[in-house]
A and B are shown apart, each in its own frame.
Chain A
Amino acid sequence: MTSLLTIEDLRITFPSRQGPSEVVRGVSFTLGRERLGIVGESGSGKSQTGRAILGLTPPPGKATARVLDFDGTDLRAASAATWRRLRGARMSMVMQDPKFSLNPVMTIGRQLMEALKFGASETRAEARTRALAMLEAVQIRDPERVFRAYPHELSGGMGQRAMIAMMLVAEPDLLIADEPTSALDVTVQVEVLRILDRLVSERGMGLLFISHDLRLVSSFCDRVLVMYAGRVVEELKASELTQAQHPYTRGLMNCLPKIEGGQRPLPTLERDAAWAR
């Protein structure tokens, strides 16, 4: 498999009063046109890893890496213009909560059209048709209405579909989904995931799926990286999750309730300072 994204020794540091604190400490992985999951608890550095790939490490944070290569482009030295060309068109990111990630004073249509950098080859009307088709592809029944609607007029599930449409409309090669369903109702979660799943496999994109939900990630991805305290502690095939070796991964699995009952109370997650080293 040709790799789309190669990361070696990614480190992200934020300055703090006690000196610089490293939130991602030497993460390496490659991603082809496949589905790779990253799981980990809050603060494990999974979201920052996703943002660093898009060059969106929030200042004053700094991301460094030995290799950060996206389809032949060295992202470490990318200029502002290169980033603008890559973002949206070649790589994009679905964020957590449509309540905050959509601009409240712009219609969905306008925000969607913005993602399409239509130039000489395409007129506004053609772009509009493409945007409406994309809304239909995320199973929005009345695309015209949603196109004209403001974000607050949509439900959470609809908002997140609009978000997905916005991120996929320019047909990127890499999609990062940062907890795309955590803000949604459980029933809506499944629908949104199914849509995401279908679109990603139809278009043969690479997907980096970031979540804290081990079960969800393993059912959805080909491979899973388990992150703990800024490091990848284990890498597994999703199908071989039960053979996890690392005590943290095993701990994560053990504290999931089983339908046939059994252990009660559920064991709490153990942490060992040694894993963070």
Chain B
Amino acid sequence: MAASFSRGGRESALLRVLWTAVKILATVALTFLGLLVVTFLIGRVVPVDPVLAVIGDRAPQSVYDRVYVELGLDRPLYEQFWIYLQKVLAGDFGESFLTKRAIVDDIARVFPATLELATVGILIGTCFGIPLGVWAAVRQGRLADQFVRVFGLIGYSAPIFWLGLLALLAFYARLHWVAGPGRIDIAFEYSITPKTGLLLLDSAMQGKWDVFANVFSHIILPAALLGYYSMAYISRMTRSFMLNELAQEYVTTARVKGVPEWRIIWIHALRNAAVPLVTVVALSYANLLEGSVLTETVFAWPGLGQYLTNSLQNSDMNAVLGGTLVIGAIFVGLNLLSDLLYNLLDPRVRRQA
């Protein structure tokens, strides 16, 4: 740190960046290794016989023994883990017993659906949650504050499938404002070439705005629901971070300088509150990306949550472990991202990195 402040200049700065990158990579690698150990052990501990899952329960003993050896189950545990590790690193999560396809392909099919839903959801949650939280903090104890609190509390405590069904009933069945369950109308299903798997992005890139409108009308209701859910959390945290910042001395300094109140709230205080908020938003996003099983079920959304539930119910262990790894990777990735944003937002952290 001392060196970074001297005129030693470019070389030391470059070294520092490199060193930071190495540290981050090492952390990520270790985290993943831990994650793999856990998923591997889960796979060995659960009372699902992987051999029976492959051959069914009517195969003769000789077939059972052969597959047992083929799967490497006769070898010591550390050797099995080594093989598992190599396979995972090569992108091989095995095959689903249910769909008879590679897990990687399955996840590549279902994950974009969840990603798209979660992203629209978190955008809604953040765009409404942060201003509402700020508003509540500025009007602490007044009517606006109570309103935001109750509005958030409902989002927090009402069962999401119940809200989902009500929303479908109202906006789809009665008012016909939005499209119903599923990601896209069957009529449009094959009218765009899937590239990213994110239908909003695909249709926009191909300039098919009628498809885009249809996809949007499908996604808006479940996304708004997830958005409402994360908004409840984000607005509550924003309120408390803002109350903390508005009580700080630098806010008084700004007032003494004659800075207009809107600038004090939205620039001085919110810029400081944004630092812890990054983590809150990242965690909410991770939560949505896990695949919200209930929402995906209610809205017949072919996403990760539905896939994982199906796999679990059919004890399709490879699929479950693959999905778990993906979720773990999302958490690690988002944590990393929020760390980087922390660095960007808080000059005090920057020096220490």
Residues of A within 8 A of B (CB): 51, 54, 56, 80, 83-89, 92-93, 95-97, 100-106, 111, 114-115, 117, 150, 152-153, 163, 166-167, 170
The one of B256, B272, B347 in contact with A92, judged by C-beta atoms closer than 8 angstroms, is B256
The answer on a CB contact under 8 Å between B249 and A89 is: no
Given A105-B275, A105-B345, verify A87-B260 contact (CB < 8 Å). no
**Given the contacts A101-B253, A105-B271, A89 and B258 also touching, CB distance less than 8 Å:** yes
B259 cross-chain contacts in A, Cβ below 8 A: 88, 114
Dominant secondary structure of chain B at its interface with chain A: helix
Given A86-B258, A152-B347, A102 and B253 contact (CB-CB distance below 8 Å):
yes
For the complex formed, measure the closest distance between the CB of A160 and the CB atoms of chain B, giving whole angstroms. Answer: 12
Can you give 13 A-B contacts (C-beta < 8 A)?
Answer: A95-B256, A101-B250, A101-B252, A102-B253, A103-B250, A103-B253, A103-B254, A105-B347, A114-B257, A115-B257, A150-B348, A153-B351, A170-B257
Mask of B316-348 contacts with A, CB within 8 angstroms, 1/0: 000000000000000000000000000001111
Q: Which of B5, B257, B272, B347 has its CB near the most chain A CB atoms (within 10 A)?
A: B257
Which of A103, A150, A153 has the most chain B CB atoms closer than 10 A to its own CB? A103
Does B109 belong to the interface (CB within 8 Å)?
no
Known: A86-B258, A89-B258, A114-B259. A101 touches B249 (CB 8 A): yes
Asked if B196 CB lies within 8 Å of chain A CBs, one says: no
Q: Are B248 and A100 in contact (CB under 8 A)?
A: yes
Nearest-neighbour CB distance to chain B for A230, whole angstroms, equals 21
Contacts of B272 in A (CB 8 A): 103-105
Which of A80, A87, A97, A153 lies in contact with B257, CB distance below 8 A?
A87
For A97, A104, A150, the residue with the greatest tally of chain B CB atoms inside 10 Å of its CB is A104
* Given contacts A104-B250, A150-B348, A93 and B258 within 8 Å (CB-CB): no
7 closest A-B pairs by beta carbon, nearest first, are: A88-B258, A87-B258, A100-B249, A150-B347, A103-B250, A88-B257, A115-B257
Q: Does B255 contact A (CB under 8 A)?
A: yes
Set of chain A residues within 8 Å of B149, measured between Cβ atoms: none
The answer for the CA separation of A54 and B252 in the assembled complex, in Å, is 10
Cα of A83 to Cα of B258 in the assembled complex, Å: 7
What chain A residues lie within 8 Å of B250 (beta carbons)? 100-104
